[in-house]
């Protein structure tokens, strides 16, 4: 068994493998190309403190206790994952980059990596999205004389001091960047494709479940998964209310083109800018699975639970509806249950 990725989804899967009698190194291996424990969290900007992260669920079997809310989540979670890997003896191999997965002999899959090839009867893919930032393309983009960067490279607000910044994107990252940058920048402009929808009232379990069900339906149809925020809208808390009142979250529709000095709309409006910050989200990091031809014409992989419909040996954990910390926890357990049945020869649909 090979698990690719040691973020929340991969570690949850490895924990359940261990609990159900699989031995690390003998029966399964976890491969990760990041330099240290922490999954994508290790790369998040220092001002994303643990106190700013809402709805982070602990991994199964070990609570994250008494974390200092003022510390960067990159440190808090990296330490917690490290401790978790050691406690449950998961023996993650890193840095190991998985380059491709292809069909092998006798129904096995070949996992080709920077550290050699593994042959396996089943695969848990838990590679998240951080490695595939999504940059939309707009006319004139290459002519811009300023700096363009993506959320994946966001360094924290100080670097924006005195700059005119255009932030693109209506998700949580975009609003968080704006609220952080505004006090430092000379000027901020927020543009989004669709008008942002702020979610009134508490974000309860029912709302969460309904959002997950919508994303689930998309992946069942083989469409690329949407982010859960695009379904739920943004939570309207006091900080967001203040930013709306202060004009920081005053949104403009998407511009039509980029010029050397800024952005322009067809109606003649223009905004000069030194920096364009693309908070335009991420896509599933699954290019290494391309030789298996799992993608549907709609562009996504059809998934039932966590199992790829086209190939029951492959489970996608942390993909689509399970792309949250709580979803990844549940998906890890369910993938392991399915794989145990597969290896025992029980029909998958039974
Ligand atoms: C800014 C931000 C804040 C968030 N806050 C929250 C929150 O508060 N609560 C919440 O529930 N969710 C939050 N999320 C979503 C959250 O990150 C995910 O739900 C969860 O942490 C993702 O876990 P994962 O294991 O699927 O992915 P990751 O943490 O990205 O782990 C994937 C791992 O796979 C490895 N990998 C990828 N490709 C390869 C390859 N080819 N070969 C080898 N290794 C590979 C990577 O190195 C990485 O370690 C947030 C996301 C972002 C971007």
For ligand 1, what atom is nearest to the CA of residue 11?
A: 25
Q: What contacts 313, CB < 8 A, 6 or more positions away?
A: 107, 109, 121, 122, 123, 342
Summarised one tens digit per residue, pLDDT across range 139-186 is 999 999 999 999 999 999 999 999 999 999 999 899 999 999 999 999
For ligand 1, what atom is nearest to the CA of residue 113?
A: 42
For ligand 1, what atom is nearest to the CA of residue 12?
A: 25
Mutating to test ligand 1, I would choose from 2, 3, 6, 8 the residue with most ligand atoms within 8 A of its C-beta, which is: 8
Predicted confidence at residue 83, as pLDDT, reads 98
Predicted confidence at residue 198, as pLDDT, reads 85
Task: Give CA torsion, residues 236, 238, 243, 247, to 10 deg.
Answer: 80
Predicted confidence at residue 200, as pLDDT, reads 75
Predicted confidence at residue 56, as pLDDT, reads 83
Predicted confidence at residue 345, as pLDDT, reads 85
**CATH pick for 141-197+233-278 out of 3.40.1380.20, 3.50.50.60, 3.10.20.310, 3.40.50.2000:** 3.50.50.60
Instruction: Tell me the backbone φ, ψ of residue 278, rounded to 5 degrees.
Output: -90, 105
3-state secondary structure the chain: CEEECCCHHHHHHHHHHHHCCCCECCCEEEECCCCCCCHHHHHCCCCCEHHHCCCCCCCCCCCCCCCCCCCEHHHHHHHHHHHHHHHCCCCCECCCCEEEEEECCCCCEEEEECCEEEEECCEEECCCCCCCECCCCCCCHHHCCCEEEEHHHCCCHHHHCCCEEEEECCCHHHHHHHHHHCCCCCEEEEEECCCCCEECCCCCHHHHHHHHHHHHHHHHCCCCCCCHHHHHCEECCHHHHHHHHCCCCCEEECCCEEECCEEECCCCCEEECCEEEECCCECCCCHHHHHHCCECCCCCECEECCEECCEEEEEECCCHHHCCHHHHHHHHHHHHHHHHHHHCCCCCCC
Predicted confidence at residue 202, as pLDDT, reads 59
The ranges of the chain annotated as CATH 3.50.50.60 are 2-131+282-343, 141-197+233-278
Tell me how far the alpha carbon of residue 319 lies from the centroid of ligand 1, in angstroms: 10
CB atoms within 10 A of CB 17: 25
Tell me how far the alpha carbon of residue 241 lies from the centroid of ligand 1, in angstroms: 28
Predicted confidence at residue 350, as pLDDT, reads 39
Beta strands 311-316 and 307-308 are antiparallel
Per-residue pLDDT of the chain (350 residues; tens, 9 = 90+): 999 999 999 999 999 999 999 999 999 999 999 999 999 999 999 999 999 887 789 999 999 999 999 999 999 999 999 999 999 999 999 999 999 999 999 999 999 999 999 999 999 999 999 999 999 999 999 999 999 999 999 999 999 999 999 999 999 899 999 999 999 999 999 999 999 988 876 566 676 777 777 777 777 788 877 766 666 778 888 889 999 999 999 999 999 999 999 999 999 999 999 999 999 999 999 999 999 999 998 889 999 999 999 999 999 999 988 888 888 999 999 999 999 999 998 765 53
For ligand 1, what atom is nearest to the CA of residue 8?
A: 25
Tell me how far the alpha carbon of residue 69 lies from the centroid of ligand 1, in angstroms: 20
Summarised one tens digit per residue, pLDDT across range 304-313 is 999 999 999 9
Predicted confidence at residue 230, as pLDDT, reads 67
**CATH pick for 2-131+282-343 out of 3.50.50.60, 1.10.1060.10, 3.30.390.50, 3.40.50.720:** 3.50.50.60
Terminal Cα-to-Cα distance of the chain (whole angstroms): 22
Predicted confidence at residue 109, as pLDDT, reads 98
Predicted confidence at residue 324, as pLDDT, reads 85
Predicted confidence at residue 348, as pLDDT, reads 59
Predicted confidence at residue 211, as pLDDT, reads 72
For ligand 1, what atom is nearest to the CA of residue 99?
A: 41
* Ligand 1 neighbourhood includes 306 CB (under 6 angstroms): no
Nearest CA to ligand 1 atom 48: 39
Nearest CA to ligand 1 atom 9: 56
């Amino acid at each position: 068994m090979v698990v690719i990725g040691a973020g929340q989804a991969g570690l949850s899967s490895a924990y359940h493998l261990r609990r159900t009698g699989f031995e690390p190194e003998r029966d399964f291996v976890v491969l990760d190309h990041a330099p240290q424990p922490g999954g994508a969290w290790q790369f998040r900007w220092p001002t994303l403190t643990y106190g700013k992260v809402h709805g982070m669920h602990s991994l199964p079997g070990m609570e994250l206790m008494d974390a200092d809310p003022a510390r960067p989540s990159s440190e808090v979670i990296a330490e917690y994952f490290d401790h978790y890997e050691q406690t449950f003896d998961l023996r993650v191999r890193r840095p190991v980059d998985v380059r491709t997965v292809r069909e092998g002999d006798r129904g096995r899959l070949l996992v080709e990596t920077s550290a050699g090839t593994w042959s396996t009867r089943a695969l848990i893919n838990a590679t998240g999205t951080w490695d595939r930032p999504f940059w939309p393309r707009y006319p004139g983009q290459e002519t811009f004389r300023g700096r363009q960067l993506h959320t994946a490279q966001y360094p924290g607000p100080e670097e924006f001091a005195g700059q005119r910044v255009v932030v693109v994107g209506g998700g949580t990252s975009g609003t968080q960047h704006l609220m952080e940058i505004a006090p430092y920048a000379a000027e901020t402009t927020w543009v989004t494709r669709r008008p942002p929808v702020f979610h009134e009232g508490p974000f309860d379990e029912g709302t969460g479940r309904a959002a997950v069900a919508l994303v689930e339906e998309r992946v069942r149809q083989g469409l690329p998964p949407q982010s859960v925020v695009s379904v739920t809208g943004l939570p309207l808390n006091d900080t967001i209310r203040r930013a709306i009142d202060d004009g920081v979250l005053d949104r403009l529709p998407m511009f039509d083109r980029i010029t050397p000095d800024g952005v322009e709309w067809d109606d003649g409006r223009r905004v000069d800018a030194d920096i364009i910050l693309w908070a335009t989200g991420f896509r599933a990091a699954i290019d290494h699975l391309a030789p298996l031809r799992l993608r549907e014409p709609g562009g996504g992989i059809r998934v039932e639970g966590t199992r790829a419909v086209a190939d029951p040996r492959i489970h996608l954990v942390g993909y689509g509806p399970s792309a949250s910390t709580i979803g990844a926890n549940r998906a890890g357990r369910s993938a392991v249950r399915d794989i145990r049945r597969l290896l025992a020869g029980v029909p998958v649909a039974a």
